[in-house]
Amino acid sequence: MSNMLVYINENNIYIQEGEKTRKLISLEEYNFELQKRRNELNEKYKTVNVDNYLYLWNFILFNNLSNYLIDTYKNSESSTILFEEKLRREGKQIIKLMGTIEIQDILGNIIICMINSEDYLQGDIKIDYTSEVPRESKKVLNLDLNYIFNYTPNSLKEIIEKLKVDLVAFKYFGKSQVNKNGKFILPIYVDEETLNKKGIDYSEYLINWASLAYLKMLTKIHDFFLDYYKYDGKEGLVNDDIMLALIYLTDYEVKDYPTGLQKSIEVGRSTKGKCYFIDSIVVPMAIEQDLAIVFQAKDVYCVVTKTLRLLQ
């Protein structure tokens, strides 16, 4: 069984597996895309410091570079992922997401993400360091950075495809509940009459309350499928593959308030997280930082990535 070698050459990071060599990322491409993203953000948010959005962009990219490398290893016959010995000597411990980022920082960030991943912590991947010199390659496959940025790990793809079927089978969604982006829509209903009777002016809070209602619906759906699939894991608003797949597959909208029989049906559906009635103040929920970043990435970049256990 051979090893997979990951190394730096002339400001490029390569993966060498047997006779195959791939260029994972180049510093030139990274800097070009980073500046392009900065320009786009400055145009969109003219009065806002965009550094936090670039921090998020870097976080997504480095996580997905690691996710791609993990999947490549798991799909190969390699026994170990080998990195250059000097990287161990440098002892990089903290991920670098801002400031001047060199090619060594990018590879160091990838390693940090990998050793904080579930796959590594569960012993599914093996990492070591070597002084081995890479072989010369006549043909090198170049990977597109945008492909990596939007990469969905294989383990997440599997649960996404599974939930696509089961969410319909268990009548969480019908065909009419799919928006133009292909997302299942979770409806939110505002009970204005009840809110007015309680003296609650909801107008300036609706955006935040709708977001909280979405989290509460996701939590109920997550817990149902956690039990149905007999998965080990925690209930609640947690960062696991079921929750990530639900975030990937769903969105929410405030809909016209139902009446008559339709209201009775929707009230019953709300007990299972299939919809939500706002008839009082929506109580906030605690959310871990890494899962909050998942939602931010979806809102800003339309990317749902499997974040590694870096920020817990």
Question: What is the β-pairing status of strands 184-190 and 276-278?
Answer: parallel
Classify residue 115 by burial, with Cβ atoms within 10 Å: 0-12, 13-18, 19+.
Answer: middle
The type of residue at 253 is: E
- For tokens 């990838």, what's the residue? 110
Query: DSSP 3-state assignment of 265?
Result: helix
pLDDT value for 309:
62
What is the Cα–Cα distance from 305 to 296, expressed in whole angstroms?
11
pLDDT value for 45:
85
pTM listed for this prediction: 0.92
Nearest alpha carbon to residue 295 among 307, 281, 311: 307
pLDDT value for 310:
47
DSSP class of 257: P
Handedness of CA 172, 173, 179, 183 (dihedral sign): positive
CB 135 within 8 A of CB 15: no
CB 7 within 8 A of CB 16: yes
What is the greatest pairwise CA distance in the chain?
Answer: 76
Mean pLDDT by 10 residues, the chain (312 residues): 90 92 96 94 87 93 96 94 83 77 93 90 92 86 95 96 96 86 94 93 93 97 97 93 97 93 91 95 92 93 81 43
DSSP H helices in 75-141: 85-90, 103-115, 118-121
